[in-house]
Structure 1
Amino acid sequence: MARTREFDTEAAVCRAMELFWTHGYEATSVRDLTRELGIGQGSLYAAFGGKEGLYRAALTHYRTTLAAAALRTLEEGTGARTVIRSMLVERVRIAVEGGGRGCLAVNAACERLPASADVRHALRDMQDASREALTEVLRAATERGEIEPRHDPHTLAAYLVTFLNGLLVSAKITPDTRALEPLVDVALAALD
């Protein structure tokens, strides 16, 4: 008879996400995970298939919480420049927390892409969702006359996602929102 899982998997994934985010995949051992989550190694493997499976679950949790919150910010705003600027600055603020731990998704891209096709797929989905949300905001802004129609909303959105990824890497090197925030204004000049 199979044993019943005796821990809250959602809470475990959330704690694992924080651990991976702070230390990275390679520097986080299975022992670190079992100690932080308060579970045995067998339970970790039974629930997630191992460290890699838990990492993918942590990336999914990141996407459905913090990354989704950033996209909701885009949907709720009124003026495109204001809402995009707010979203970019907020992402920088989150990235510099904890001494510059960066963005979990960007960290994963830098650390895990060559080793894991599953991680690549998850990160591509996150990036695509961000680009699509920005494209819709920019398309609506063009229709309202906020942005010149000569700009392709999809290309602008792809540029802003690429800019954000680089900015989030910079946030690890220079964890200072005041130093990075002016770069957001330079990027937004692409909307002129």
Structure 2
Amino acid sequence: MARTKEFDPDAALQSALELFWRRGYEATSMADLVEHLDIARASLYATFGSKRELYFKALERYGEQHGPGIVAELSQPGPALPAVRALIQRFAREAARDTQRRGCFVTNTAVELAAHDPDAARRVEESWHSVETALTSALMRAGAQGELPVGRDPVALARMLLVLIQGMRVVGKVDPSPGLLRDAAAQALALLD
């Protein structure tokens, strides 16, 4: 008869996500995971596979928890431009208030792994593509509703805002000065006027 697991895999995955998010992939060893999750190494491997597989499962969980909110915010009926502005301002505030300097797990993956890990790069690109698509859709709607000045390219603006968001997350990890992030967001949002 197979032995039942002595831990909750869902809670363990959430705990692994928190550890990876705080420390990064390279700085987190299997020994750290075993200690932090309070799970035997064999059980950890049997449930999640390698450290890399666990990391990618944690990254997927992060996307499930954080990604849909952005799409939902930008897909609300009514005027679209206020939702775009609110999203960018929220990212600036969150980056400034990130006292633990964790940043964004997806952005951290991009900075730490994407340059030399094609699987990591693909996952980051997928995440960013969904944000870019949501921004583009909202900006196209804003244009169609007369909120966006004529001649503004919704695709180019969405790409610029995506880069801004990711940049704010990186800068917030190093210098979470509210003024710096607020000014950057304000200048970018001025392009929507």
TM-score using structure 2 length: 0.90
CA drift of 1:178 comes to 4.1
Q: Residues 165 and 50 (structure 1 numbering): CA distance in 2 closer, same or farther, change over 3 Å?
A: same
Partner of 1:152: 153
Q: Deviations over 1:33-86 (max 9, x none)?
A: 112212111122112211111111111111111232222222237433321222
Note the aligned Cα RMSD (angstroms).
1.9
Alignment of 1:86-125 (within 5 A): 86-95=86-95, 96-125=97-126
Partner of 2:63: 63
Alignment of 1:157-176 (within 5 A): 157-176=158-177
* Counterpart Cα distance in 1 of 2:177 and 2:72: 25
Q: Secondary structure at the match of 1:98?
A: coil
1:171 partner letter: G
Partner of 1:43: 43
Structure 1: give runs of 5+ residues left out of the alignment.
none
The answer to whether the 8 Å contact 2:93/2:178 transfers is yes
* Counterpart Cα distance in 2 of 1:98 and 1:45: 33
* Counterpart Cα distance in 1 of 2:143 and 2:157: 12
Which region of structure 1 is more displaced relative to structure 2, 175-184 or 72-81? 72-81
Q: Residues 117 and 41 (structure 1 numbering): CA distance in 2 closer, same or farther, change over 3 Å?
A: same
Q: Secondary structure at the match of 1:99?
A: coil
* Counterpart Cα distance in 2 of 1:10 and 1:92: 31
CA drift of 1:122 comes to 1.0
* Counterpart Cα distance in 2 of 1:186 and 1:76: 25
Q: Deviations over 1:82-113 (max 9, x none)?
A: 21222123233444423322111111111011
The answer to whether the 8 Å contact 1:81/1:188 transfers is no
* Counterpart Cα distance in 2 of 1:93 and 1:54: 30
1:188 partner letter: L
2:40 partner letter: G
Moved over 4 A (4+): none
Which region of structure 1 is more displaced relative to structure 2, 89-98 or 151-160? 89-98
The answer to whether the 8 Å contact 2:81/2:139 transfers is no
2:12 partner letter: A
Of all paired residues, the percent bearing the same amino acid is 36
Q: Deviations over 1:102-154 (max 9, x none)?
A: 11111111101133222111111100000000011001100100002312212
Partner of 1:15: 15
Q: Residues 69 and 84 (structure 1 numbering): CA distance in 2 closer, same or farther, change over 3 Å?
A: same
CA drift of 1:21 comes to 1.2
